[in-house]
Amino acid sequence: MPTLRRRLAAITAVLALSVTGGAVTSPALADPRENVKVPTATGYGGAVSTVDPEASAAAIEVLRDGGNAADAAVAAAATLGVTEPYSAGIGGGGYFVFYDARTGKVGTIDGRETAPATMPTNAFIDPTTITPANPAGSPYPFAQLVSSGVSVGVPGTPATWVRALERWGTLDLGEALEPAIKVANRGFVVDETFRQQTLDNKVRFSAFTPTRELFLPGGDAPAVGSIFQNRDLAKTYRLLAKEGTDAFYGGPLAAEIAGTVQAPPKDPTWVGPDPVPPAPRVVIPAFPGYLTTADLAGYETIDQAPTHVNYRGYDVYGMAPSSSGGTTVGEALNILEPFNLSTMTRPQALHYYLEASALAFADRARYVGDPAFVDVPTKDLTDPQFGKERACEIDPLLAATPKPVPAGDVATYDGACDLPPAAAANESDTENISTTNLTVADRWGNVVEYTLTIEQTGGSGMVVPGRGFLLNNELTDFSYTSTSPTEPNQIEPGKRPRSSMSPTIILDEGKPFLALGSPGGSTIITTVLQTILNRVDLGMTVSEALAAPRASQRNTASISTEQEFIDAPYLDELEALGHVFTKAGDGLTSLPEIGAATAIEFGPEGQMTAAAEPVRRGGGSAMVVSPG
């Protein structure tokens, strides 16, 4: 198979010989920037869906050049590190799910970040708040903690790329990085989403010198329509292409990453902007963190089996803990299985969806953490009998109140409706809405669903000087206010924080039917669940299922809801059943949206329909190798 490197060299040679009217053909014209977003594409030979057309084009380039889905997924992910740097990149982590057409099996890679070896369990507690009246102390303000070294976990994304290529790919890392290096060097067209996300982070980005220099040139976010280049990241990618991930987890770059965490590069002269009363002035102490070069050198991804449930005859595979996505989506589907939702009205079906989600989230909070540290009852949580018993809690005529509802008891269940629930388990999620997701399939039938993140939009806000990428603030996914040793998501050295990322692959009689995933913090779970409900039970097309208005019930008194859902004609009937809705928006971004999903559905005779969000986060980009 010709490599991308040879292919690009051949293109360069052709360009050098192409002369019209005495002028050499412009490489910019031969290699146009991808900035047109098409949310749905149907065709053959391979397909991709991402949030960004440059990333989708990178994947298509690899597929057309003979690469497979794993190769194309790494190429797309690396390109998203260029074009969507506030949501993903080599400073973060994620979960990679792969359907192998040769074996018919689904495998996964846990590339989640880990807590440094010296991180104490009370790292989030402000010691000045410890008093005789408050012996446990109180946590630092969340907004201060995220923009600091304390929040930075050991990145897993570069190791994930290499492991995916080793297990399933045909390219080496250098070849897979070529499209992203090209985009980083020549630049991409700034859209409204990129500019707005930069403005949303302008205050804290301005506090860190290398971040300000990269993302706030001249003191402002890049203008819509301008070209944004990240040549520092291109150099970093070239380093990884040449030396592999040893250059990231060791050597000078590892020392620079650790140095950035331990001594955040805050401008000593920085002062937050004058506040608008009654808001206080923004304060960013930039607390030093714990990550060391030894932590980087010791990082490893984990190969593990997926979660699995059967829903309406489909085999649904997801990500096992440390992610809570596979267990929670799977349990909710098991709760819904006894009910014939397809015969119900839309508000009736949505009522069951919302109640099932609340029950599954109760069990998520009670039981799920990093299985290397916590005895997670994954088998029980995804047992159809446990789901059937939890389904007994749903009243068809009334939403359960008050919420949060109690967790179920995984120690004693038999599917009958005669056992009392266990004690309540609830916590406030601090997992942020930013992340990105991609879906890829190739001509041989291999499928990738990959969710990756740097946590909050903009991560920790800290760019590694001269390297062009942001570090994550992933450790804030640990339980923020609890230091109890019985809390499954408590901070512990070397532990992976619980995640909601839910990359999902659904098979029909052993063959791919639907692959999907989404960003969105803890709303990822409900986005994937509601999309499956829309497609399988409510009969929507895959594009309609992604576009439909969303509501996210995470075992809370009120349901986070998009405006389009609030405006829908079925809202009154749901409110009459006792559901309480509030408009989505976490106060950290200006986008009151839930998720930004990607999906591919597989039809007869090799047909593929790639679907991306038509509007959310500025819309997504679906492409196929061969249309029609």
Asked if residue 611 is part of any domain, the answer here is no
State how far the Cα of 628 lies from the Cα of 624, in Å rounded to an integer. Answer: 9
390 and 283 fall within a common domain: no
Cβ neighbours of residue 17 closer than 8 Å, sequence gap 6 or more = none
State how far the Cα of 557 lies from the Cα of 64, in Å rounded to an integer. Answer: 49
453 and 425 fall within a common domain: no
- pTM for the model stands at 0.93
Peptide bond preceding 404: is omega within 30 degrees of 0, i.e. cis? yes
115 and 71 fall within a common domain: yes
286 and 349 fall within a common domain: no
- Name the strands in the sheet holding 581-583, side by side, starting at the edge strand that comes first in the sequence: 551-552, 559-561, 581-583
Each residue's pLDDT tens digit, 491-518: 999 999 999 999 999 999 999 999 999 9
Asked if residue 597 is part of any domain, the answer here is no
State how far the Cα of 496 lies from the Cα of 557, in Å rounded to an integer. Answer: 29
Report whether pLDDT(430) > 80. no
Residue positions annotated with a catalytic role? 435
Each residue's pLDDT tens digit, 276-305: 888 889 999 999 999 999 999 999 999 999
Amino acid at 118: T
Each residue's pLDDT tens digit, 232-265: 999 999 999 999 999 999 999 999 999 999 999 9
110 and 39 fall within a common domain: yes
Each residue's pLDDT tens digit, 371-405: 999 999 999 999 999 999 999 999 999 999 999 99
556 and 472 fall within a common domain: no
Q: Confidence band (pLDDT; 50, 70, 90) for 420?
A: low
- Asked whether 154 and 291 are in contact (CB, 8 A), the reply is yes
Give the range of the structural domain holding residue 586, as residue numbers without chain letter.
314-432+497-591
- Asked whether 323 and 306 are in contact (CB, 8 A), the reply is no
Sign, Cα dihedral of 403, 331, 303, 595: negative
Asked if residue 236 is part of any domain, the answer here is yes
Task: Name the more confident of 28 and 99.
Answer: 99
DSSP track, 95-142: EEEEEETTTTEEEEEEE--B--TT--TTTTEEGGG-BTTBTT-EEPPH
Domain CATH code at residue 323 = 1.10.246.130
- Asked whether 517 and 94 are in contact (CB, 8 A), the reply is no
384 and 441 fall within a common domain: no
Asked if residue 600 is part of any domain, the answer here is no
Q: What are phi and psi of 417, to 5 degrees?
A: -100, 50
For the chain, what is the domain count? 2
Report whether pLDDT(5) > 70. no
238 and 318 fall within a common domain: no
Report whether pLDDT(28) > 50. no
- pLDDT of amino acid 628: 76
249 and 366 fall within a common domain: no
Q: Where are the alpha helices (DSSP H) in 263-323?
A: 293-297
203 and 281 fall within a common domain: yes
Mean pLDDT of all residues in 600-614: 97
Asked if residue 116 is part of any domain, the answer here is yes
Residues linked to residue 266 through DSSP beta bridges, in sequence order = 208
State how far the Cα of 430 lies from the Cα of 533, in Å rounded to an integer. Answer: 26
Q: What is the H or E stretch that residue 391 is in?
A: helix 384-391
For residue 528 the two structure tokens come to: 């994937």
Please tell me whether residue 410 adopts helix, strand or coil conformation: coil
Q: Label the pairing between strands 40-50 and 23-24.
A: unpaired
Q: Provide the angle, in degrees to the nearest 10, between the axes of the packed helices 173-186 and 157-168.
A: 130
- pLDDT of amino acid 592: 82
Asked if residue 580 is part of any domain, the answer here is yes
DSSP track, 351-362: HHHHHHHHHHHH
Asked if residue 626 is part of any domain, the answer here is no
Q: What is the H or E stretch that residue 11 is in?
A: helix 4-17
State how far the Cα of 526 lies from the Cα of 325, in Å rounded to an integer. Answer: 9
Within the chain, what is the greatest distance between any pair of CA atoms?
Answer: 86
12 and 121 fall within a common domain: yes
451 and 582 fall within a common domain: no
Asked if residue 258 is part of any domain, the answer here is yes
